[in-house]
Amino acid sequence: MHAEITSLLAILVFPGVIFLFVLAFFYEWVDRKFFAKLQNRYGPLHTGAHGILQPLADFLKLLSKEDITPFASDKLIFALAPIFYLALPLTTLFVVPILSQTSLITFEGDLIFVLFTFTLIIMTVFLAGWSSISRFSTIGSIRATLQMLGYEIPMGLVTIGPAIAAKSLSISKIVEWQSLHFWIVFLQPLGFAIFTICLLAELQFVPFDIPEAETEIVAGWRTEFSGRKLAVLRLGKDLELVLASALITSLYLGGPQQFWLIPPIITFLVKTTFAVMLLSLLRAVFARFRIDQMLTGTWKYLLPLATFQVILIQLGFGG
Protein backbone atom coordinates (compact mmCIF):
# COMPACT_ATOMS: atom_id res chain seq x y z
CA MET A 1 0.00 0.00 0.00
CA HIS A 2 2.76 2.38 0.96
CA ALA A 3 4.64 1.72 -2.28
CA GLU A 4 1.51 2.36 -4.32
CA ILE A 5 0.92 5.75 -2.68
CA THR A 6 4.56 6.68 -3.26
CA SER A 7 4.38 5.82 -6.95
CA LEU A 8 1.05 7.63 -7.30
CA LEU A 9 2.58 10.70 -5.66
CA ALA A 10 5.58 10.35 -7.95
CA ILE A 11 3.35 10.46 -10.99
CA LEU A 12 1.01 13.20 -9.80
CA VAL A 13 3.26 15.48 -7.80
CA PHE A 14 7.00 14.95 -7.90
CA PRO A 15 8.57 14.48 -10.39
CA GLY A 16 5.24 14.03 -12.14
CA VAL A 17 2.46 16.30 -13.32
CA ILE A 18 2.59 19.19 -10.84
CA PHE A 19 6.38 19.41 -10.82
CA LEU A 20 6.40 19.41 -14.62
CA PHE A 21 3.82 22.20 -14.75
CA VAL A 22 5.93 24.30 -12.39
CA LEU A 23 8.97 23.52 -14.49
CA ALA A 24 7.07 24.50 -17.65
CA PHE A 25 6.18 27.91 -16.22
CA PHE A 26 9.70 28.38 -14.92
CA TYR A 27 11.31 27.61 -18.27
CA GLU A 28 8.91 29.89 -20.07
CA TRP A 29 10.11 32.62 -17.73
CA VAL A 30 13.78 31.69 -18.30
CA ASP A 31 13.20 31.74 -22.04
CA ARG A 32 11.37 35.06 -22.02
CA LYS A 33 13.78 36.73 -19.64
CA PHE A 34 16.92 35.56 -21.41
CA PHE A 35 15.45 36.35 -24.82
CA ALA A 36 14.62 39.85 -23.60
CA LYS A 37 18.13 40.35 -22.19
CA LEU A 38 19.60 39.38 -25.54
CA GLN A 39 17.39 41.97 -27.19
CA ASN A 40 18.31 44.68 -24.72
CA ARG A 41 14.88 44.64 -23.11
CA TYR A 42 13.73 43.88 -19.56
CA GLY A 43 11.23 41.11 -20.21
CA PRO A 44 8.71 40.15 -17.49
CA LEU A 45 9.32 42.45 -14.55
CA HIS A 46 6.44 43.04 -12.17
CA THR A 47 4.73 39.77 -11.28
CA GLY A 48 6.76 38.11 -8.55
CA ALA A 49 10.52 38.56 -8.19
CA HIS A 50 11.89 39.60 -11.61
CA GLY A 51 8.54 38.65 -13.11
CA ILE A 52 8.97 34.98 -12.34
CA LEU A 53 5.22 34.52 -11.87
CA GLN A 54 4.33 36.16 -15.18
CA PRO A 55 3.79 32.89 -17.12
CA LEU A 56 1.47 31.64 -14.37
CA ALA A 57 -0.38 34.96 -14.35
CA ASP A 58 -0.80 34.79 -18.12
CA PHE A 59 -2.12 31.26 -17.81
CA LEU A 60 -4.65 32.14 -15.12
CA LYS A 61 -5.79 35.22 -16.99
CA LEU A 62 -6.35 33.24 -20.17
CA LEU A 63 -8.35 30.68 -18.20
CA SER A 64 -10.78 33.39 -17.17
CA LYS A 65 -11.20 34.76 -20.70
CA GLU A 66 -14.08 34.05 -23.01
CA ASP A 67 -13.69 30.78 -24.91
CA ILE A 68 -14.87 31.22 -28.47
CA THR A 69 -15.54 28.30 -30.77
CA PRO A 70 -15.87 29.42 -34.39
CA PHE A 71 -19.26 28.61 -35.89
CA ALA A 72 -17.85 26.73 -38.87
CA SER A 73 -15.25 24.74 -36.96
CA ASP A 74 -15.22 20.99 -36.42
CA LYS A 75 -16.20 21.36 -32.77
CA LEU A 76 -15.12 18.00 -31.40
CA ILE A 77 -11.60 18.08 -32.83
CA PHE A 78 -11.34 21.78 -32.04
CA ALA A 79 -12.04 21.02 -28.37
CA LEU A 80 -9.87 17.88 -28.21
CA ALA A 81 -6.77 19.24 -29.97
CA PRO A 82 -5.58 21.46 -27.08
CA ILE A 83 -5.97 18.54 -24.64
CA PHE A 84 -3.90 16.25 -26.85
CA TYR A 85 -1.36 19.02 -27.35
CA LEU A 86 -0.96 19.27 -23.56
CA ALA A 87 -1.13 15.54 -22.84
CA LEU A 88 1.41 14.38 -25.39
CA PRO A 89 4.53 16.19 -24.11
CA LEU A 90 3.41 15.56 -20.53
CA THR A 91 3.19 11.80 -21.07
CA THR A 92 6.46 11.73 -22.96
CA LEU A 93 8.24 13.45 -20.09
CA PHE A 94 7.56 10.40 -17.91
CA VAL A 95 10.05 8.34 -19.92
CA VAL A 96 12.77 10.99 -19.55
CA PRO A 97 14.91 10.59 -16.40
CA ILE A 98 14.52 13.57 -14.08
CA LEU A 99 14.96 12.55 -10.44
CA SER A 100 17.53 9.82 -10.89
CA GLN A 101 19.11 7.95 -13.74
CA THR A 102 16.02 5.86 -14.30
CA SER A 103 12.82 7.50 -15.39
CA LEU A 104 9.36 6.95 -13.93
CA ILE A 105 8.42 4.66 -16.78
CA THR A 106 11.16 2.91 -18.65
CA PHE A 107 11.18 0.20 -21.26
CA GLU A 108 13.50 -0.86 -24.05
CA GLY A 109 12.63 1.33 -27.02
CA ASP A 110 11.27 4.41 -25.25
CA LEU A 111 13.51 6.55 -27.46
CA ILE A 112 11.39 5.44 -30.42
CA PHE A 113 8.31 6.28 -28.36
CA VAL A 114 9.61 9.83 -27.84
CA LEU A 115 10.20 10.30 -31.54
CA PHE A 116 6.74 8.92 -32.22
CA THR A 117 5.09 11.40 -29.87
CA PHE A 118 6.98 14.24 -31.53
CA THR A 119 5.26 13.25 -34.75
CA LEU A 120 1.93 12.98 -32.96
CA ILE A 121 2.34 16.50 -31.59
CA ILE A 122 2.64 17.85 -35.13
CA MET A 123 -0.37 15.77 -36.14
CA THR A 124 -2.30 17.41 -33.31
CA VAL A 125 -1.12 20.79 -34.53
CA PHE A 126 -2.39 19.90 -37.97
CA LEU A 127 -5.76 18.81 -36.60
CA ALA A 128 -6.02 21.94 -34.46
CA GLY A 129 -5.38 24.21 -37.44
CA TRP A 130 -7.47 22.19 -39.86
CA SER A 131 -10.51 22.00 -37.58
CA SER A 132 -10.58 25.80 -37.11
CA ILE A 133 -11.59 26.35 -40.76
CA SER A 134 -9.79 29.67 -40.80
CA ARG A 135 -7.58 30.60 -43.71
CA PHE A 136 -4.69 31.53 -41.45
CA SER A 137 -5.06 28.32 -39.43
CA THR A 138 -5.24 26.18 -42.56
CA ILE A 139 -2.06 27.65 -43.99
CA GLY A 140 -0.38 27.41 -40.60
CA SER A 141 -1.24 23.75 -40.17
CA ILE A 142 -0.13 22.90 -43.71
CA ARG A 143 3.15 24.65 -43.02
CA ALA A 144 3.60 22.77 -39.73
CA THR A 145 3.17 19.44 -41.49
CA LEU A 146 5.43 20.43 -44.37
CA GLN A 147 8.05 21.53 -41.90
CA MET A 148 7.84 18.16 -40.13
CA LEU A 149 8.72 16.44 -43.40
CA GLY A 150 11.93 18.45 -43.33
CA TYR A 151 13.32 17.93 -39.85
CA GLU A 152 11.83 14.65 -38.67
CA ILE A 153 14.12 12.33 -40.59
CA PRO A 154 17.39 14.06 -39.64
CA MET A 155 16.20 14.11 -36.03
CA GLY A 156 15.45 10.40 -36.11
CA LEU A 157 18.83 9.71 -37.68
CA VAL A 158 20.92 11.63 -35.14
CA THR A 159 19.13 10.19 -32.14
CA ILE A 160 20.40 6.79 -33.32
CA GLY A 161 23.85 8.13 -32.38
CA PRO A 162 23.48 8.02 -28.59
CA ALA A 163 21.55 4.75 -28.91
CA ILE A 164 24.42 3.10 -30.80
CA ALA A 165 26.93 4.43 -28.30
CA ALA A 166 24.99 3.07 -25.32
CA LYS A 167 23.85 -0.03 -27.24
CA SER A 168 20.30 0.57 -26.03
CA LEU A 169 17.13 2.24 -27.26
CA SER A 170 16.14 3.22 -23.73
CA ILE A 171 16.80 6.80 -22.64
CA SER A 172 17.51 5.68 -19.08
CA LYS A 173 20.20 3.27 -20.33
CA ILE A 174 21.74 6.02 -22.46
CA VAL A 175 21.95 8.24 -19.37
CA GLU A 176 23.45 5.41 -17.37
CA TRP A 177 26.07 4.74 -20.07
CA GLN A 178 27.04 8.42 -20.07
CA SER A 179 27.62 8.42 -16.33
CA LEU A 180 30.10 5.57 -16.77
CA HIS A 181 31.80 6.95 -19.90
CA PHE A 182 31.69 10.40 -21.49
CA TRP A 183 28.91 12.86 -22.19
CA ILE A 184 27.79 12.15 -25.74
CA VAL A 185 28.05 15.84 -26.68
CA PHE A 186 31.86 15.41 -26.59
CA LEU A 187 31.71 12.27 -28.70
CA GLN A 188 29.15 13.46 -31.24
CA PRO A 189 29.20 17.29 -31.38
CA LEU A 190 27.77 17.23 -34.91
CA GLY A 191 24.86 15.10 -33.77
CA PHE A 192 24.25 17.51 -30.87
CA ALA A 193 24.14 20.48 -33.26
CA ILE A 194 21.74 18.75 -35.66
CA PHE A 195 19.50 17.61 -32.81
CA THR A 196 19.33 21.16 -31.42
CA ILE A 197 18.42 22.58 -34.83
CA CYS A 198 15.70 19.96 -35.27
CA LEU A 199 14.33 20.78 -31.82
CA LEU A 200 14.15 24.47 -32.80
CA ALA A 201 11.97 23.39 -35.71
CA GLU A 202 9.91 21.08 -33.51
CA LEU A 203 9.31 23.89 -31.02
CA GLN A 204 8.52 26.31 -33.85
CA PHE A 205 11.13 28.79 -32.68
CA VAL A 206 12.81 31.37 -34.94
CA PRO A 207 14.21 30.66 -37.57
CA PHE A 208 11.62 27.90 -37.93
CA ASP A 209 8.54 29.66 -36.53
CA ILE A 210 7.07 29.40 -40.01
CA PRO A 211 3.73 27.78 -38.92
CA GLU A 212 2.98 30.68 -36.61
CA ALA A 213 4.75 33.51 -38.44
CA GLU A 214 3.00 36.45 -36.83
CA THR A 215 3.49 38.97 -39.60
CA GLU A 216 2.31 36.62 -42.33
CA ILE A 217 -0.51 34.48 -40.99
CA VAL A 218 -1.45 36.13 -37.66
CA ALA A 219 -0.93 33.29 -35.14
CA GLY A 220 -0.91 30.49 -37.72
CA TRP A 221 -2.60 27.32 -36.59
CA ARG A 222 -3.45 28.88 -33.20
CA THR A 223 -5.33 31.87 -34.63
CA GLU A 224 -8.86 30.75 -33.71
CA PHE A 225 -8.10 29.49 -30.22
CA SER A 226 -8.96 31.63 -27.25
CA GLY A 227 -9.61 31.48 -23.51
CA ARG A 228 -9.07 28.12 -21.83
CA LYS A 229 -8.08 26.39 -25.05
CA LEU A 230 -5.35 28.92 -25.74
CA ALA A 231 -4.14 28.67 -22.13
CA VAL A 232 -3.85 24.90 -22.50
CA LEU A 233 -2.09 25.26 -25.83
CA ARG A 234 0.44 27.65 -24.29
CA LEU A 235 1.05 25.30 -21.39
CA GLY A 236 1.50 22.48 -23.89
CA LYS A 237 4.07 24.56 -25.72
CA ASP A 238 5.93 25.20 -22.46
CA LEU A 239 5.90 21.48 -21.69
CA GLU A 240 7.29 20.86 -25.15
CA LEU A 241 10.12 23.22 -24.25
CA VAL A 242 10.71 21.24 -21.05
CA LEU A 243 10.67 18.02 -23.06
CA ALA A 244 13.11 19.39 -25.62
CA SER A 245 15.57 20.61 -23.01
CA ALA A 246 15.20 17.37 -21.02
CA LEU A 247 15.97 15.36 -24.15
CA ILE A 248 19.05 17.45 -24.93
CA THR A 249 20.13 16.87 -21.34
CA SER A 250 19.46 13.14 -21.34
CA LEU A 251 20.80 12.25 -24.76
CA TYR A 252 23.82 14.53 -24.95
CA LEU A 253 24.62 16.15 -21.60
CA GLY A 254 24.62 13.11 -19.33
CA GLY A 255 21.18 13.58 -17.76
CA PRO A 256 20.67 13.75 -13.99
CA GLN A 257 24.04 12.76 -12.52
CA GLN A 258 25.28 12.69 -8.96
CA PHE A 259 28.24 15.07 -8.62
CA TRP A 260 29.90 14.71 -5.23
CA LEU A 261 27.18 15.99 -2.80
CA ILE A 262 24.96 17.59 -5.40
CA PRO A 263 21.81 15.50 -5.94
CA PRO A 264 20.90 14.46 -9.52
CA ILE A 265 17.80 16.69 -9.62
CA ILE A 266 19.97 19.80 -9.24
CA THR A 267 22.32 18.77 -12.05
CA PHE A 268 19.25 18.01 -14.16
CA LEU A 269 17.83 21.49 -13.51
CA VAL A 270 21.14 23.20 -14.25
CA LYS A 271 21.60 21.29 -17.48
CA THR A 272 18.04 21.83 -18.71
CA THR A 273 18.25 25.54 -17.91
CA PHE A 274 21.41 25.65 -20.00
CA ALA A 275 19.56 23.85 -22.81
CA VAL A 276 16.64 26.31 -22.64
CA MET A 277 19.07 29.23 -22.75
CA LEU A 278 20.80 27.68 -25.75
CA LEU A 279 17.47 27.42 -27.56
CA SER A 280 16.57 31.05 -26.68
CA LEU A 281 19.98 32.24 -27.82
CA LEU A 282 19.52 30.52 -31.15
CA ARG A 283 16.08 32.01 -31.64
CA ALA A 284 17.41 35.50 -30.94
CA VAL A 285 20.11 35.57 -33.60
CA PHE A 286 18.26 34.57 -36.76
CA ALA A 287 15.59 35.82 -39.08
CA ARG A 288 12.76 33.52 -40.10
CA PHE A 289 13.29 31.22 -43.08
CA ARG A 290 10.69 30.78 -45.76
CA ILE A 291 9.05 27.35 -45.84
CA ASP A 292 10.69 26.34 -49.13
CA GLN A 293 14.09 27.52 -47.90
CA MET A 294 13.62 25.53 -44.71
CA LEU A 295 12.73 22.34 -46.59
CA THR A 296 15.56 22.57 -49.12
CA GLY A 297 17.94 23.45 -46.29
CA THR A 298 17.03 20.42 -44.20
CA TRP A 299 17.13 17.98 -47.12
CA LYS A 300 20.26 19.44 -48.68
CA TYR A 301 22.39 19.94 -45.58
CA LEU A 302 20.83 18.53 -42.41
CA LEU A 303 20.00 15.07 -43.74
CA PRO A 304 23.43 14.38 -45.35
CA LEU A 305 25.13 15.67 -42.19
CA ALA A 306 22.98 13.42 -40.02
CA THR A 307 23.84 10.45 -42.23
CA PHE A 308 27.50 11.43 -42.05
CA GLN A 309 27.27 11.43 -38.24
CA VAL A 310 25.86 7.89 -38.28
CA ILE A 311 28.61 6.76 -40.67
CA LEU A 312 31.24 8.27 -38.37
CA ILE A 313 29.85 6.29 -35.44
CA GLN A 314 29.85 3.12 -37.53
CA LEU A 315 33.49 3.75 -38.40
CA GLY A 316 34.24 3.91 -34.71
CA PHE A 317 34.44 7.67 -34.11
CA GLY A 318 32.28 8.92 -31.28
CA GLY A 319 30.65 5.60 -30.47
User: What are the residues binding another protein (CB under 8 A)?
Assistant: 38-41, 135, 139, 206-207, 209-210, 213-218, 284-293
Identity of the residue, 86 or 144, whose beta carbon is nearer to another protein in the bound complex: 144
Question: In angstroms, what CA-CA distances link 83 with 88, 91, 104, 119, 196?
Answer: 9, 12, 22, 16, 26
Identity of the residue, 291 or 306, whose beta carbon is nearer to another protein in the bound complex: 291
Contact 242, 21 (CB under 8 A): no
Residue 259: beta bridge partners?
262
Nearest approach in angstroms of CB 79 to another protein is 26
Nearest approach in angstroms of CB 294 to another protein is 10
Nearest approach in angstroms of CB 209 to another protein is 6
Nearest approach in angstroms of CB 171 to another protein is 32
Identity of the residue, 161 or 220, whose beta carbon is nearer to another protein in the bound complex: 220
Nearest approach in angstroms of CB 22 to another protein is 28
Identity of the residue, 138 or 257, whose beta carbon is nearer to another protein in the bound complex: 138
Identity of the residue, 219 or 251, whose beta carbon is nearer to another protein in the bound complex: 219
